[in-house]
Amino acid sequence: MSMQVFSAVYAAALMEIAREDGTGKLIFDELNSLSELVSGSPELNEVLCSPTFSEDEKYDVAESLFKGKLSRTVLNFLYVLIEEGRTSGLSDIASDYKRLYYEQEGITEAVVTTAAGMSRDAAEKLKAKLEAKYKKKVLLSEKTDPSIMGGVIVRVGDEMIDGSLRTKLDRIGKQM
């Protein structure tokens, strides 16, 4: 089985536990933090993911760093990954869990690109419109890209709404 399949299976198992004990948000937060910490630290990544370190060494490092800082569920989950030799898939598992959690909670992410940023009021109005359109809670993140010249580009999942000035000018140029 590929790691992609394993990560989906592990994420689904975690989601099942979260549903049973009502800890979906806690697991989401802790799993993301743990994944970011491991991927952001070459040393920690090496210890937890490299075959040069024994299972006992990995377990000892995980326990010394995370016992009392992570919930029992996430810490035990990390121990299982160590035992199964799957710690290198932590980032994929966190991504799969995030997808399942967002699906369960009716959350979607939107990335808005503007030439110079948006006012707080404009961002709130756009968020409200997107929530009405998609009938989900929208987590809005902003990017700036001066090359779009003006207007906005909104990406929600696989869908893109391009209202940039550059695209409008390109269309006019093609029509001429």
CATH assignment of the domain containing 31: 1.10.520.20
Predicted model pTM:
0.81
Domain ranges, residue 126: 107-175
Helix (H) or strand (E) holding 142: strand 137-144
- Best CA proximity match to 60, nearest among 52, 48, 69: 48
Contact status, residue 110 vs residue 138, Cβ threshold 8 Å: yes
Does 83 lie in the same domain as 16?
A: yes
Does 91 lie in the same domain as 22?
A: yes
From 78, 103, 128, give the residue that closes a domain. Answer: 103
Does 138 lie in the same domain as 86?
A: no
> What is the C-alpha separation between 17 and 11, in angstroms, rounded?
10
Does 156 lie in the same domain as 98?
A: no
**pLDDT 10s digits, 21-71:** 999 999 999 999 999 999 999 999 999 999 999 999 999 999 999 999 999
**pLDDT 10s digits, 74-104:** 999 999 999 999 999 999 999 999 999 999 9
